[in-house]
Chain A
């Protein structure tokens, strides 16, 4: 019989790619959004799979809403990708950030526990939990040092998952995903902002681009392959937590350079640095050791920052032309 997967936060980037992956594997996919009637599911549309997914309205910070959808769908696997996802926005909406991430995850864990379902649960955690690691590569044993309300909420959610796994034996995993991008990334994220605006500059629609701190260093990967790691985590004998990353770190400046040069432009002619775009606290450098995922899941990133940036530019040019 086909397995059923429930994806909370199906309208986002990862939700769309994960849906496509699971459909290809023969799953029946149910996706939720806070208001399924009002949501356009543009990302699912973009991938041409909107019609194949049953959608439900779920607000994961409302326990009843969570319980109801679990009863109705009876999923074999749950992927919790819902929640406020922007580090920048979390400084202006810290309470909502914790309610959607912290309380949301807790409600899912509680609902699974009290229903006593043999469900496998994936929770989207984040490399932001590590904060600055003093130049060391973060692995699954590295202590957290979160630097934003978003990261603090994700750290709490990580430990909720670990606690429910240890206390009640739930099959529950956290994926500590480092930055992962794609053409479906919204423009609020810096990578897409750079790609979009660089393409506009190329097309002569704008001249300059404003950026904050371009010295920050990140490990950027390709979202469509990261969702495969999520699925793999739920196919193991034992539930565990994994880092998902490329293992290679670049500065934002290098990313900017890659984007502009793929368009035949010199970035220095077009970028203005604006300190107003700096965050109250930011992570200088994020470094990952994805060795455990390779050893235990057989998963390894195929694409690095350069390929990701180029593929995003290609997709963006197509959408403008």
Chain B
């Protein structure tokens, strides 16, 4: 029989990759999205099936993590075998501006789904995946971080996710629900939200190369992260729900790069080498050399020349409390689930640059034809 999966946060990066992954496995996939005045389904438009299509494999429902009755109603209707709770206010910086909403959607949202599973009587049937995060480790208590490293959350986002983590553990222990936390370290892709630092960098550099933009402003260049590819990571989310016993897993690459490293790697995909000058707020990323590589269909030297300052530091992107370093050890996932990440850091950066160059060239073309283009991106 066809398995049914319900994904909250289906319009997000992970929701899109997971939907695609589960559809390929033959699942009937149901997604929950908030009602907004504009469509925000870009990432899943290629999977969309209209309400009049017969035997739909991919169905969207309107719902909201802050509205218990909508969640109960959808769970009742779908009766899913697996629930993937990916919905959240997912931006650390925004959580300092909207702490209450973050707590409501990320902490209480998880509880509302778990309670809905109990209320409807799906505790035996439905397996639950909770999207936890390396931000729980915050001010890290040991390096690298594993499933046993104590948490030290450093933002309202991390505190809300800490609540969701422990309430998931509690519902597993108290009621025997098959519920798991995936403690995922940073995972990126060409459809990563535009305000996350990796995507901000790949979009900005692509536009700088085409002369659509001069310079990108970043926050803490020293922040070190363990960056993987979202496509690899959603497979793990599914694997966690296919085991005999529910457990929590760290998902990471085990390699660490700074934001500055990421800028360098992205620039080098565009044939640009960067030298860094100054320190603190005065630090600048300056173009050192521009080389036209053979695989590039464009010539970076048309708009960028040695000496151009293309990266500056802006304190507005600093956070009241910074997480300086995160590095995961996914040994448990490798040993118990046989999972290892397949896509390397370099491949990830290359894919993101490739995608964002396409977008930037589309904008360049529009601009050259006299259309107005929007260049906001921060």
Query: Residues of A at under 8 Å CB distance from B?
Result: 63, 91, 94-95, 98-99, 102-103, 106-107, 110, 143-144, 146-149, 151-153, 155-156, 159-160, 163, 166-168, 279-281
Contacts and interface: CB of A to CB of B under 8 A. Distances in A.
Interface string B102-127: 01100110011001000000000000
A27 B174 CA distance: 44
B146 interface: no
Contacts, number: 89
Contacts of B154: 163, 166-167
B163 A99 contact: no
13 contacts: A103-B104, A110-B100, A144-B151, A146-B166, A147-B170, A148-B170, A149-B111, A152-B170, A156-B159, A159-B162, A160-B159, A163-B321, A166-B320
Contacts of A94: 111, 115, 167
Given A98-B108, A103-B100, A168 B320 contact: yes
B261 to A, nearest CB: 26
A280 B170 CA distance: 9
B153 interface: yes
Contact of B107 (A98, A107, A280): A98
Interface in B30-62: none
Interface string B16-35: 00000000000000000000
B68 interface: yes
Interface pairs A-B: 10 shortest CB-CB: A167-B320, A280-B174, A143-B150, A156-B163, A152-B166, A167-B321, A281-B174, A159-B159, A159-B153, A281-B173
B159 A91 contact: no
Nearest to A99: B108
Contact of A152 (B156, B167, B320): B167
Nearest to A281: B174
B145 interface: no
A147 B99 contact: no
Given A102-B103, A163-B159, A149 B320 contact: no
B175 A167 contact: no
Given A98-B108, A156-B159, A166-B154, A106 B99 contact: yes
B339 interface: no
B347 to A, nearest CB: 36
Given A103-B100, A107-B100, A156 B160 contact: yes
Contact of B156 (A98, A160, A166): A160
Main SS of the interface on chain B? helix
A156 B110 CA distance: 14
Contacts of A147: 170, 173
Select the residue from B115, B174, B319 with max chain A CB neighbours within 10 A.
B174
Select the residue from A95, A103, A106, A280 with max chain B CB neighbours within 10 A.
A106
Interface in B169-185: 170, 173-175
A148 B174 CA distance: 8
B57 to A, nearest CB: 33
A63 B98 CA distance: 13
B220 interface: no
Contacts of A152: 163, 166-167, 170
B155 interface: yes
Contacts of A280: 173-175
B96 interface: yes
Contacts of A167: 96, 154-155, 319-321
A221 to B, nearest CB: 26
Contacts of A99: 108
B174 A91 contact: yes
B100 A106 contact: yes
B321 A149 contact: no
Given A95-B115, A159-B158, 17 more contacts: A63-B100, A94-B111, A103-B100, A144-B151, A144-B166, A148-B170, A149-B111, A153-B163, A156-B163, A159-B151, A159-B153, A160-B156, A160-B159, A163-B154, A163-B155, A166-B320, A166-B321
Contacts of A155: 162-163, 166
Contact of A281 (B107, B156, B170): B170
B166 A110 contact: no
A98 B163 contact: yes
A99 B108 CA distance: 8
Contact of A110 (B68, B99, B167): B99
Select the residue from A63, A102, A163 with max chain B CB neighbours within 10 A.
A163
A42 B243 CA distance: 54
Contacts of A153: 163
A52 B103 CA distance: 37
A94 B112 CA distance: 9
B33 to A, nearest CB: 23
